[in-house]
Amino acid sequence: MQLKRLITIAVIAVSLYACKEDNTAEIDYEKEEAEIVEEEKILEFGFDINNYIVKRDTIQRGDSFGEIMQRNNIGYPNIFQIAEATKDTFDIRKLHPGRPFTLLYSKESEKDSLPSPSTFIYQPNQEEYVVIGLKDSIHAYTSKKPITYVEKTATGIIESSISKTLEEKGLSQRLAYKMADEIYAWTIDFRRLQKGDRFKVIYTDKYIDDTIYAGIQNVKAAYFEHNGDSLYAFQFETDSIKGIVDYFNEDAKNLRRAFLKAPVQFSRISSRYNLKRRIAVYGYKVRPHKGTDFAAPIGTPIMATASGTVVESTRRGGNGKYVKIRHNDTYSTQYLHMSKRLVEKGEFVKQGDIIGKVGMTGNTGGPHVCYRFWKNGQQVDPFKQKLPEAKPISDSLKVKYLDHIKPIKQRLDNIFFLEADPIQPENTITEDLNIDIQ
């Protein structure tokens, strides 16, 4: 009887110990799970936002860095010190209305009667940001948000226009510009597309922080059936030092001409080159017009129609603000009446680079760019010139190019035309440029 009682007590003790063991394990698991949750970070601009009080705002018209700091309890002596310490990295005077900024406060500052931020973060655009540390060791640096590139394919069959086709498929109109003005500008007249023309493209979309769509990064390859012709286009870098990229067909022939047709997109010609022009306001006297006027709203970007070196960037008389580019020993181009010049004398610019903005400076009756074309030192009508083709691919690069496009062409050929073809992402590459500050 005594033995039976001892066995019963022992069994109860073991059971209680086992329950205790299980309970401890459960507590430890809960503790471990809590620790995991605590370790999760919400990173933004390289900071764990959980560790800060975050205040977001937007630069207002008339705002200055000093005013923003004073509103947030940082005095003038400290503002001057911050400006001096960070001037080599960021000019605090360059804050643009409408751009967002973020202030980070340490959580301990909640106890202060007049809390002041430890960090100021300014976003000059969607991709870049500037971080200024306001406490202790004052410092500043610039960085970029993580960029993700998603390669996609798409097809389309023209019913009325390429813009309509892209709209119906939910594709960016930027594709129309890329194909019309960059790839097939000299081989297809997109104003005369025919019903039944069709295209295939392999292109790359750009995303910021995985969620913010930032447009089409580039078109890797395209195929267009037009007027009975099959036209391939493959992107290829011909000069890595200058970053020159061109489009070539399957036989390595350059699809571009040396010059773009116009220095502005989606514009109209308001006045052509005319040496016998008469103007009523001048009593119908002959006043030669040695340029081609492209009407466009003020602020419209003006592109260099060919690669070359800026030889003039100034303001003079009736020309207003203008830029002149020397392309080679034969050709130069000039762009008049700008509201803003964006390049300086001596700069090398590539075809398509933005060199200024449309304006009304100098003698002009409305917003436009007067495009002047020089051949052997004389101003001529660019539309009556037999313009040279773009630089052909070198013999040394041709073999490399043909090897490069072989798998791309095979992939392009294997894309089938469908009326309601869904866009399929092919490949995703993330470029994380954040600096993680602990």
Q: Do 291 and 316 belong to one domain?
A: yes
Top mean pLDDT of 1-15, 127-141, 263-277 is at 127-141
- pLDDT of residue 425 exceeding 80: no
Q: Would residue 438 count as lying in a domain?
A: no
- pLDDT of residue 2 exceeding 60: no
**Per-residue pLDDT, 438:** 29
Q: What percent of the chain has pLDDT over 90?
A: 43
Q: Would residue 261 count as lying in a domain?
A: no
pLDDT 10s digits, 259-295: 888 899 866 788 887 766 655 445 555 567 788 899 9
**Mean pLDDT, rounded, of the chain:** 83
Q: Would residue 437 count as lying in a domain?
A: no
Backbone φ/ψ region at 175: left (φ over 0), alpha (ψ -120 to 50), beta: alpha
**Per-residue pLDDT, 437:** 34
Q: Look at 12-16, 59-63, 179-183, 246-250 and tell me which has the smallest mean pLDDT.
A: 12-16
Name beta bridge partners: 139.
Answer: 133
The domain spanning residue 409 has which CATH number? Answer: 3.10.450.350
Q: Would residue 12 count as lying in a domain?
A: no
User: Hey, is 26 helix, strand or coil?
Assistant: helix
Q: Which residues contact 38 (CB under 8 A, 6 or more apart)?
A: none
CA pair distance 347, 352, nearest whole angstrom: 14
pLDDT 10s digits, 359-375: 999 988 889 999 999 99
Number of independent structural domains in the chain: 3
Structure tokens, 181: 């003005």
- pLDDT of residue 309 exceeding 90: yes
Q: What percent of the chain has pLDDT over 70?
A: 83
CA pair distance 70, 64, nearest whole angstrom: 10
CA pair distance 336, 6, nearest whole angstrom: 107
pLDDT 10s digits, 215-239: 888 999 999 999 888 999 999 988 7
Q: Do 397 and 379 belong to one domain?
A: no
Q: Would residue 25 count as lying in a domain?
A: no
Q: Would residue 37 count as lying in a domain?
A: no
Q: Do 294 and 372 belong to one domain?
A: yes
Structure confidence at residue 8 as a pLDDT band (50, 70, 90) = low
| Average pLDDT rounded to a whole number, residues 128-139 | 90
Q: Do 206 and 239 belong to one domain?
A: yes
Q: Would residue 28 count as lying in a domain?
A: no
Containing structural domain, residue 206:
147-256+391-431
**Per-residue pLDDT, 248:** 93
158-164 contact pairs (CB < 8 A, 24+): 158/193, 158/194, 158/195, 158/196, 158/197, 158/198, 158/199, 159/195, 160/195, 161/193, 162/190, 162/193, 162/199
**Per-residue pLDDT, 287:** 67
Q: Do 249 and 221 belong to one domain?
A: yes
Q: Do 378 and 277 belong to one domain?
A: yes
Q: Do 161 and 90 belong to one domain?
A: no
Q: Would residue 410 count as lying in a domain?
A: yes
Q: Do 417 and 310 belong to one domain?
A: no
The domain spanning residue 302 has which CATH number? Answer: 2.70.70.10
Domain final residue pick, 144, 170, 200: 144
Q: Look at 14-18, 252-256, 303-307, 434-438 and tell me which has the smallest mean pLDDT.
A: 434-438
Q: Do 277 and 371 belong to one domain?
A: yes
Q: Do 320 and 228 belong to one domain?
A: no
Q: Do 229 and 337 belong to one domain?
A: no
Task: Report yes or no: 256 and 393 within 8 Å, Cβ to Cβ.
Answer: no
Q: Do 81 and 166 belong to one domain?
A: no
**What does pTM read for this prediction?**
0.61
